[in-house]
Amino acid sequence: MKQLIRATLIFLFFTDLAWISPMLAAEGWKQEWEKTIQAAKREGEVAIYGPHNPMYRPLWDAFQKIYPGVKINFVPGKGSELTQRILTERRADKYLADIVMGGSSTYLAYPPSALERLRPHLILPETYDESAWWQKKLWFADPQNQSAILLTGEVGTRRGSHNTALLDPKEIQSWWDLLKPKFKGKLGTFDPMVSGGGGETFVFLHYSPALGTRFITRLLTETDILVTRDLEQGTDWLGRGRIIFYIGSGQPIMRAKQQGLPVDLLPHPLKEGEIMGGGACCMALLNRAPHLNAARLFVNWVLSREGQIAWQKYSETNSLRMDISKDDLPSWAVPQNGVDYFMLNASQNQDPAKIKAMYKIADEALRKIQR
């Protein structure tokens, strides 16, 4: 009888623990979150370095409406310039920046020790619940695959654009279709040697086993393609009918369409797959951050459902958080089931050696047409 009572008590003890442990865990993160909020208010600000982007101002406002005691000190600039600024500051033993935002290539220049592993700083369970994110995982852009988190999965803007009055988009179902004689002298591209405009699309072309070196070389040497380094010039060429298909960033195209010009993004993915990514996609926490608690507060908020709803709204691009509504996006900007997506900004597709090889291929081809 004593043994039965003892066994029963042991059973009840461990049964209670099974219920209590999740409760303690829940209370643990809540306590840590509250401590972080209070410490962030004492620090009073978070220093963010990032590119010029009109989406940031309303995003800052949304954050500060919830946490008015934490000011955002934003230092804008080009990615490469900000990287050099941060590294120069650190060589002088000045640790001024907390967070760096920008495109995926931004993070290739940082030594691994300069970027914090992000997961240990995620406090809110909804931020590290990977089931909520695209393909049920957190995506990173840095070579160590642990620091520069991807927030945006931009769809549709890297597949090319067309003049709606001069080209039936159904004529282009594969990238190889651009090599047909009928398109000679009617194509344009942002310089593939420059990231941020057309270079990202050429990274995809280089990685694709169905395209690769052969396609890039033929596209640049056989089609009399026009090349620009002016983000607006390609859109102007397309709108005036000087070209009928353009490879470059889709955002200027969408602005031109809204203004009534006969331009639009290609409405369908091509045979070789779809590109997901581009733009100011990413965020990383720097080590020795001077306002660590305020930075953690901002990072957790941005990755939360509330923060990603704001991010998607103001960036007008698809958030990689999939447990939020996509109703504020046009249908072409939402990932579709059954489509093979190339995650442009993911670390595995940002191999410096492969990107360097793509630049070499493009440079050699461009030199041939300039002779």
Q: Where do the structural domains in the chain lie, given as residue ranges?
A: 8-152+279-334, 161-276+352-370
Residue 46 gets which letter from DSSP? Answer: E
The whole-angstrom distance between residue 349's C-alpha and the CA centroid of its chain comes to: 13
Residue 270 gets which letter from DSSP? Answer: B
Spell out the residues 6+ positions from residue 100 whose beta carbon is closer than 8 angstroms to its own: 48, 49, 50, 82, 83, 86, 106, 107, 283, 284, 286
Question: Is 149 within 8 Å of 140 (Cβ atoms)?
Answer: yes
Identify the CA nearest to 101 among candidates 258, 287, 285.
Answer: 285
The whole-angstrom distance between residue 12's C-alpha and the CA centroid of its chain comes to: 50
pLDDT at 172 over 60: yes
Provide the residue type at 213 as one letter: T
pLDDT at 198 over 70: no
Detail the DSSP E strand segments found in 39-186. Answer: 45-50, 71-76, 99-102, 149-150, 161-163
Residue 145 gets which letter from DSSP? Answer: S
Question: Is 279 within 8 Å of 290 (Cβ atoms)?
Answer: no
List the beta bridge partners of residue 321: 133
**Alpha-carbon gap, residue 244 to 123, rounded angstroms:** 50
Helix-helix angle 250-258:233-240, to 10 degrees: 50
Provide the residue type at 370 as one letter: Q
pLDDT at 14 over 70: no
pLDDT for 371: 61
The reply to whether CATH 3.40.190.10 applies to domain 161-276+352-370 is: yes
Mean pLDDT value across the chain: 89
Tokens 């209070």 belong to residue: 38
Q: Answer whether 8-152+279-334 and 161-276+352-370 agree in fold.
A: yes
Cα 31 to Cα 234, 343, 347: the distances in Å are 53, 36, 34
* Section 276-295 average pLDDT: 93
pLDDT for 164: 97
**Alpha-carbon gap, residue 181 to 67, rounded angstroms:** 59
Geometric angle at alpha carbon 143, from 139 and 144, rounded to 5°: 80
Question: Is 118 within 8 Å of 298 (Cβ atoms)?
Answer: no
3-state secondary structure of 332: helix
pLDDT for 340: 85
**Alpha-carbon gap, residue 198 to 229, rounded angstroms:** 9
CA dihedral 360, 85, 68, 57 (to 10 degrees): -40
* Section 218-227 average pLDDT: 96
* Section 125-130 average pLDDT: 96
Terminal-residue alpha carbon distance, the chain: 99
Q: Tell me the per-residue pLDDT of 67-82, one tens digit each, with 9 for 90 and over.
A: 999 999 999 998 889 9
Question: Is 257 within 8 Å of 160 (Cβ atoms)?
Answer: no
What pTM was estimated for this model as a whole?
0.84
pLDDT for 6: 58
Q: Which CATH number fits domain 8-152+279-334: 3.40.190.10, 3.90.1300.10, 3.40.50.11030, 3.40.50.300?
A: 3.40.190.10
Spell out the residues 6+ positions from residue 29 whose beta carbon is closer than 8 angstroms to its own: 123, 124, 125
**Alpha-carbon gap, residue 366 to 159, rounded angstroms:** 21
Spell out the residues 6+ positions from residue 173 whose beta carbon is closer than 8 angstroms to its own: 268, 270, 271
Q: Tell me the per-residue pLDDT of 256-282, one tens digit each, with 9 for 90 and over.
A: 999 999 999 999 889 999 999 877 889
